[in-house]
Amino acid sequence: MSKVVLFVKDSEKAKLTAQEVHKFLKAEGYKVKTLLNKRRSTTFPPLRGYKLMVVIGGDGTFLAGARLASKFGIPLLGVNEGRFGFLTEVDREEAVDILHRVLKGELRKQKRMMLSTYLIRNGRRKFLGNYLNDVVITKSAIARIMEIEVFANHSFMAHIYGDGVIVSTPTGSTAYALSAGGPIIYPDSENILFVPICPHTLSNRPVVLPSHFSVKLKTLSPDRACFLTMDGQEGLFLKKGDTVEVRKSKRFCEIYLHPDKSFFEILRKKLRWG
């Protein structure tokens, strides 16, 4: 492993941590590139030949880093300089020690599925990207009820009236989907989670689907009444009749796991379980 990229949140604390990590890597003889994840920044240089991405920031920074790293098959290690830290498992104080163990090959990686998303408008199908967490359609106007037809693997599933819908990976099951009442799915599982947001019909419940299913969401609300968001960071207004198609991506995100924390320990800490 000779080339490492640091993907850093645009904050003073994260930059200071990045300086420490950079200094350590240079002393170990690694070539280091630092990329700052600035707000609204979507273009980054190609990373062919890099063997590790160290994300220094919060979960939002990690999601942006995952979209970039997955293009080049680069595994990630997350150092928490954000608020919640579900994905950035490593604390600042232990970052150098755990990174040293990664470089020595002592830590195991976990493969996480991603979602490919397409917009079908006026008969044309446009690829939007691959996402680690979720794809969400929400209402864009206050006090308006949205109408969405949902198809699972080409079969009509439900007509949703409400505030929106979430299509999530297992990784994203602890994000917006959890707040909307969805279940927690173990992160290296391969399932697609469908969660209605505040459905008008209370019998509309979350559904866990096989990963080989596709999910199509057809908007029946007026133009610009619905907004599509991917990973909470990219989005666009939808028109009446638009269909958003979500399916398992061919790409994966590989994450180095904390050597001393299980997923359930993280849940207990972050969700304050007893």
pLDDT tens column, 54-112? 999 999 999 999 999 999 999 999 999 977 778 999 999 999 999 999 999 999 999 99
Closest CA to 172 of 216, 117, 217, 118: 117
User: Which domain does 185 fall in, by range?
Assistant: 114-250
Across the chain, mean pLDDT equals 94
Q: Say whether both 25 and 87 belong to one domain.
A: yes
When divided into structural domains, the chain yields a total of 2
Residue 41 pLDDT class (50, 70, 90 cuts): low
Lowest mean pLDDT among 41-45, 64-68, 161-165, 205-209: 41-45
Q: Say whether both 165 and 243 belong to one domain.
A: yes
pLDDT value, residue 7 = 97
User: Which residues are registered as beta bridge partners of 147?
Assistant: 161
Average pLDDT over residues 13-35: 96
Q: Say whether both 161 and 223 belong to one domain.
A: yes
What is the rounded distance in angstroms from the CA atom of residue 170 to the CA atom of residue 210?
11
Q: Say whether both 119 and 177 belong to one domain.
A: yes
What is the rounded distance in angstroms from the CA atom of residue 185 to the CA atom of residue 88?
18
Choice among 10, 59, 223, 260 that is catalytic = 59
pLDDT tens column, 211-237? 999 999 999 999 999 999 999 999 999
pLDDT value, residue 85 = 75
Closest CA to 51 of 18, 15, 104, 3: 3
Q: Angle 95-103/12-27 helices, nearest 10 degrees?
A: 40
DSSP string, 204-218: ---EEEETT-EEEEE
Domain containing 65 — which CATH number?
A: 3.40.50.10330
Q: Say whether both 102 and 159 belong to one domain.
A: no
Q: Say whether both 130 and 172 belong to one domain.
A: yes
pLDDT value, residue 137 = 97
Q: Which residue has the tokens 């559904």?
A: 207
Is there a catalytic annotation at residue 134?
A: no
Q: Residue 207 burial (CB < 10 Å; 0-12/13-18/19+)?
A: middle
pLDDT value, residue 259 = 92
Residue 143 pLDDT class (50, 70, 90 cuts): low
Q: Which residue has the tokens 């206050």?
A: 142
Q: Say whether both 9 and 100 belong to one domain.
A: yes
Q: Say whether both 184 and 56 belong to one domain.
A: no
Domain containing 205 — which CATH number?
A: 2.60.200.30
75 in Cβ contact with 255 (< 8 Å): yes
Q: How many CA atoms lie within 13 A of 262 on its CB side?
A: 4
Q: Say whether both 262 and 235 belong to one domain.
A: no
pLDDT value, residue 1 = 56
pLDDT value, residue 141 = 78
What is the dihedral sign for C-alpha 247, 252, 253, 257? Answer: positive
